Amino acid sequence: MCSSPERRLVVGRLDGIIAGSAQLSRAPRNNEAQAFAGTLTSAFVAPWARGRGLGRGVVREIEQLARELGLVVLNLDLRDTQRAAMGLYENLGYRRWGTHPVYAEVEGRIIPGHYYYKLLEDEPAAP
């Protein structure tokens, strides 16, 4: 039994060691209007494991899980400083739909954030 049925965690391993993860969040059961959508959050790859395709694999697994759960769209948001992540998501078909100019504070500086979505029907599920 899952203690939080609205959240699922996917981990990625490199040489048998957990080196990355992401979380799929769904709307609570009482929010029927957004039951078709999920949010990809808390994606992270350890610095020593970056550049090896682990992030891409974790995101693909989240997408597959979302499809299995009947979700139609995934949403996510990123700080402007997360350039590599923005490139990854855009390469995977996520579309930027908006920017929040006062999104986060990083090292004492206010930076914007960007909002993305991906329609899961845009590409077939992996075999």
Beta-sheet strand order (sheet of 7-14)? 7-14, 17-26, 37-45, 73-79, 109-119, 95-106
Options 3.40.630.30, 3.40.50.880, 3.40.50.300, 3.40.220.10; CATH of 7-122:
3.40.630.30
**Alpha carbon separation from 1 to 4, 8, 43, 127 (Å, rounded):** 9, 12, 23, 27
Q: Where are the domains of the chain?
A: 7-122
pLDDT in single tens digits along all 127 residues of the chain: 455 678 999 999 999 999 999 999 998 888 899 999 999 999 999 999 999 999 999 999 999 999 999 999 999 999 999 999 999 999 999 999 999 999 999 999 999 999 999 999 866 555 4
Report the predicted TM-score, pTM, of the whole model to 2 decimal places. 0.88
Single out the residue of 113, 126, 107, 101 nearest to residue 75, CA to CA: 113
Three-class DSSP category at 18:
strand
Three-class DSSP category at 15:
coil
pLDDT digits (tens, 9 = 90+) for 97-122: 999 999 999 999 999 999 999 999 86
Single out the residue of 68, 116, 69 nearest to residue 92, CA to CA: 116
Angle subtended by helix axes 83-91 and 54-68, to nearest 10: 50
User: In what helix (H) or strand (E) does residue 58 lie, and over which residues does it extend?
Assistant: helix 54-68
